[in-house]
């Protein structure tokens, strides 16, 4: 409790207060005792003077009884004589002539002193209580402002004591609440934007499906070839919708922290194999060159990293001109996968936005591109502690580089 600044302050002030009034009490009692002492001396002087005046020969015998310690025998003899006059050891101090004024004064002064001591003590308690109460009100008002959404309040947390600790914890709580509310607002905005984007992305294929369906229903005599053509277009739109929904679910799971990425020792070639097997049909008409370190490794999740690489190679297929180069490399610090294409390239103004969700670069090669694959790839790579970058030259092609720092092992 002595570490508590408020308690220590009150304790020191009460000790000073008690010391002051104890000193005053000591002075009053000492003055009273001095007065009693003077009265005793005067009475002894009068007693000796009266006896010696009438019996001078008793001087030498009488003086030792006043200046030295008397024997118990003489005390008993004197007690027997004075008993008959009501003067004994059990006599009330009120009847003691020497205490007549001193006893009365002491009985009055001590209660007055005690009473007067309660006044500054009460004032002291009120002052200290007001200090504590003021701090409590300060915390209460700050809490009310935080509840109302005002997070600019900051309580003083300098110094020692429980209130400074409380203020520090309150500031931490306010900061956490503010961060939580900001995250909720961001998530709400993100959800709103995502729903709007999904609605926009689904609107086109749904509209096409409705048109195809209406045409098939209205024209019962449609040629088989035309009917098959409409059905194939409908299937394309359905595949597009399916791909969009599946990838949006993956994005949502990653951003919600629902995916626990593994930290396994993985060959770079194994990740590439996942992508090549998945995209085998679309790679048939492509010139694919793989080179580099086939034994290179990294630490991460093989399946999810394969998912990211699928989207990057798929982008190279869609926007390239038939030539794709994949380079696997490993250094003492990094493991990298580089994917190059010989496509039309990307303008520099678009490069900072290329990984944004639903961001599409104007392209005649793939006008129906949705713009979510690269965003998903970036989320997967960065969630494992890796990085993904892009560089591109107009009409020369684009290069994506995935890098994993080898010391990031959990």
3-state secondary structure at position 327: strand
Q: What is the mean pLDDT of residues 105-117?
A: 72
Q: Where is average pLDDT lowest: 62-71, 91-100, 222-231, 308-317?
A: 91-100
Banded pLDDT at 102 (limits 50, 70, 90): low
Most confident of 208-222, 231-245, 374-388: 374-388
Q: Residue with structure tokens 């098959």?
A: 228
At residue 350, φ and ψ (nearest 5 deg) are -90, -20
Please count the other Cβ atoms lying within 10 Å of the Cβ belonging to residue 322: 12
Banded pLDDT at 306 (limits 50, 70, 90): very high
pLDDT at 43 over 80: no
* 255 CB-near residues (< 8 Å, 6+ apart): 190, 379
pLDDT at 157 over 80: no
Q: What is the mean pLDDT of residues 393-400?
A: 90
Q: Where is average pLDDT lowest: 132-146, 265-279, 333-347?
A: 132-146
pLDDT: is 317 or 59 the higher one? 317
pLDDT: is 134 or 287 the higher one? 287
E strand intervals along 78-156: none
pLDDT at 335 over 70: yes
- Rounded to an integer, what distance in angstroms lies between the CA atom of residue 346 and that of residue 352? 11
Q: Where is average pLDDT lowest: 228-237, 324-333, 343-352?
A: 228-237
- Rounded to an integer, what distance in angstroms lies between the CA atom of residue 18 and that of residue 146? 43
pLDDT at 297 over 80: yes
Q: Residue with structure tokens 């915390």?
A: 139
Q: What is the mean pLDDT of residues 94-116?
A: 67
Claim: this prediction has a pTM higher than 0.85: no
pLDDT of residue 364: 46
Q: What is the mean pLDDT of residues 50-66?
A: 79
- Rounded to an integer, what distance in angstroms lies between the CA atom of residue 211 and that of residue 273? 40
pLDDT of residue 302: 95
Mean pLDDT, the chain, rounded, equals 82
pLDDT of residue 265: 93
Walk me through the domains of the chain, giving residue ranges and CATH numbers: 5-147 (no CATH), 163-253 (1.10.287.130), 262-405 (3.30.565.10)
pLDDT of residue 381: 96
pLDDT at 408 over 50: no
pLDDT of residue 317: 92
Banded pLDDT at 387 (limits 50, 70, 90): very high
């Amino acid at each position: 409790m002595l570490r508590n600044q408020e308690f220590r302050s009150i304790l020191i002030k009460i000790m000073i207060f008690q010391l002051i009034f104890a000193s005053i009490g000591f002075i009053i009692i000492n003055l009273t005792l001095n007065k009693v002492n003077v009265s005793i001396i005067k009475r002894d002087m009068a007693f000796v003077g009266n006896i010696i005046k009438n019996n001078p020969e008793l001087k030498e015998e009488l003086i030792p009884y006043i200046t030295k310690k008397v024997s118990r025998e003489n005390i008993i003899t004197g007690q027997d004589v004075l008993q008959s006059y009501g003067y004994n050891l059990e006599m009330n101090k009120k009847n003691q002539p020497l205490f007549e004024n001193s006893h009365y004064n002491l009985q009055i002064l001590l209660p007055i002193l005690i009473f007067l001591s309660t006044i500054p003590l009460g004032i002291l308690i009120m002052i200290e209580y007001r200090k504590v109460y003021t701090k409590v009100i300060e915390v209460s008002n700050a809490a009310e402002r935080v509840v109302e959404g005002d997070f600019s309040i900051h309580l003083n947390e300098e110094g020692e004591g429980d209130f400074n600790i409380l203020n520090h914890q309150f500031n931490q709580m306010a900061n956490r609440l503010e961060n939580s509310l900001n995250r909720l607002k961001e998530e709400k905005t993100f959800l709103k934007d995502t729903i709007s984007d999904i609605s926009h992305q689904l609107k086109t294929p749904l509209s096409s499906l409705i048109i195809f369906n209406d045409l098939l229903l209205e024209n019962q005599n449609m040629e088989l070839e035309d009917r098959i053509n409409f059905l194939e277009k409908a299937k394309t739109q359905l595949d597009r919708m399916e791909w969009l929904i599946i990838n949006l679910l993956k994005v949502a799971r990653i951003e919600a922290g629902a995916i626990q990425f593994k930290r396994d020792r993985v060959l770079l070639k194994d990740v590439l194999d996942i992508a090549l097997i998945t995209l085998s049909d679309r790679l048939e008409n492509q010139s694919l060159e793989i080179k580099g370190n086939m034994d290179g490794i990294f630490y991460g999740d093989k399946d999810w990293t394969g998912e990211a690489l699928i989207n990057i190679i798929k982008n190279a297929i869609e926007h390239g001109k038939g030539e794709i180069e994949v380079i696997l490399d490993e250094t003492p610090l990094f493991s990298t996968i580089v994917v190059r294409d010989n496509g039309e390239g990307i303008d520099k103004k678009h490069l900072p936005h290329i990984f944004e969700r639903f961001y599409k670069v104007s392209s005649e090669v793939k006008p129906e591109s949705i713009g979510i694959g690269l965003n998903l790839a970036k989320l997967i790579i960065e969630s494992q502690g890796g990085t993904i970058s892009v560089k591109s030259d107009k009409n020369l092609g684009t290069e994506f580089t995935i890098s994993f720092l080898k010391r990031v092992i959990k």
